[in-house]
């Protein structure tokens, strides 16, 4: 398990102050969702946590170690597709696992099949739809070894049935591997179903505006997700 501490982080692009003194924590094994208006700075925050860019001030700690600017500390699924166009789908999903040398090709093939991508192992990203590419990035994040995951609107391009299926899968992985998750979504119901806690950001410059603790226990949430059965 893994815990994250963000302390007074600020970030501007020129005169555009995007994050202002942002502080938040994610405890060991916690599932936290972030809701906030478009352009409020959610993806900017995730890029700072992922070490893709540096905060102007403030610190980010993972399990008490400062990770400002350090890539690879967490498993990060960016909002827009970051698949490598020259790698096959199978090679793309194995990228995260290659980090720790534990490559399990059979597992990756099974996961692709589970996500409705059977037969696409040796295809290239340009041959897939947006929703398919999103599922490929999701599997890559699941197969990555890090205990902390940041998922930036992972299900936004999916139809409602596939979305519910992926939500259940994520809940299973979260419980089974005891990961800690920070998740961005615009779906309020999705945030309520999945998370322990919801953080609502203000308009830019973003800061934590409100926090809600979700009263449902995990089994209860899984039960809620079973409403899918009624939809089919």
**Sign of the alpha-carbon torsion through 160, 129, 191, 96:** positive
Strand partners, 185: none
Q: If binding is defined by CB under 5 A, does position 79 make contact with Mg ion?
A: yes
Partner from Mg ion, ligand ADP, none binding residue 32, C-beta < 5-8 Å depending on class: none
Choose the contact partner of 39 out of ligand ADP, Mg ion, none; CB within 5 to 8 A by kind.
ligand ADP
The two beta strands, 57-62 and 208-213, are unpaired
Taken in order 41, 45, 46, 50, is the CA torsion positive or negative? positive
Binding partner selected for residue 146 from ligand ADP, Mg ion, none, CB under the kind-specific 5 to 8 Å limit: none
**According to CB under 5 A, which one of 2, 33, 43, 92 is a site residue for Mg ion?**
43
Q: Please, which residue, 36 or 154, has the CB nearer to ligand ADP? A: 36
- For the bound state, the minimum distance from the C-beta of residue 34 to Mg ion, rounded and expressed in Å, comes to 10
Neighbours of 178 (CB within 10 A): 12
Radius of gyration of the chain (CA): 17
Q: Which is closer to ligand ADP, CB of 13 or CB of 177?
A: 13
In whole angstroms, the minimum distance from the beta carbon of 79 to Mg ion comes to 5
> H/E element holding 199?
strand 197-201
Binding site for Mg ion (CB under 5 A): 42-43, 79
């Amino acid at each position: 398990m893994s815990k994250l501490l963000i302390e007074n982080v600020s970030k501007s692009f020129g005169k555009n102050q995007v994050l202002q003194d942002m502080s938040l924590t994610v405890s060991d094994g916690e599932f936290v969702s972030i809701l906030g208006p478009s352009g409020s700075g959610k993806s900017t925050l995730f890029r700072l946590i992922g070490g893709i860019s540096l905060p102007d001030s403030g610190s980010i700690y993972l399990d008490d170690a400062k990770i400002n600017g350090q890539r690879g500390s967490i498993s990060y699924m960016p909002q827009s597709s970051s698949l490598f166009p020259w790698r096959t789908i199978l090679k793309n999903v194995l990228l995260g696992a290659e980090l720790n040398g534990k490559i399990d090709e059979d597992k990756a093939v099974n996961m692709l099949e589970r996500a409705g991508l059977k037969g696409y192992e040796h295809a290239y990203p340009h041959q897939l739809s947006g929703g398919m590419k999103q599922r490929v990035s999701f599997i890559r994040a699941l197969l990555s070894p890090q205990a902390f995951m940041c998922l930036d609107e992972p299900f936004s391009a999916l139809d409602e049935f596939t979305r519910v299926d992926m939500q259940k899968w994520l809940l299973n992985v979260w419980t089974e591997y005891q990961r800690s998750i920070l998740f961005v979504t615009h779906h309020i119901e999705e945030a309520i179903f999945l998370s322990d806690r919801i953080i609502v950001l203000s308009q830019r410059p973003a800061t934590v505006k409100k926090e809600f603790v979700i009263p449902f226990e995990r089994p209860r949430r899984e039960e809620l997700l079973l409403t899918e059965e009624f939809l089919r």
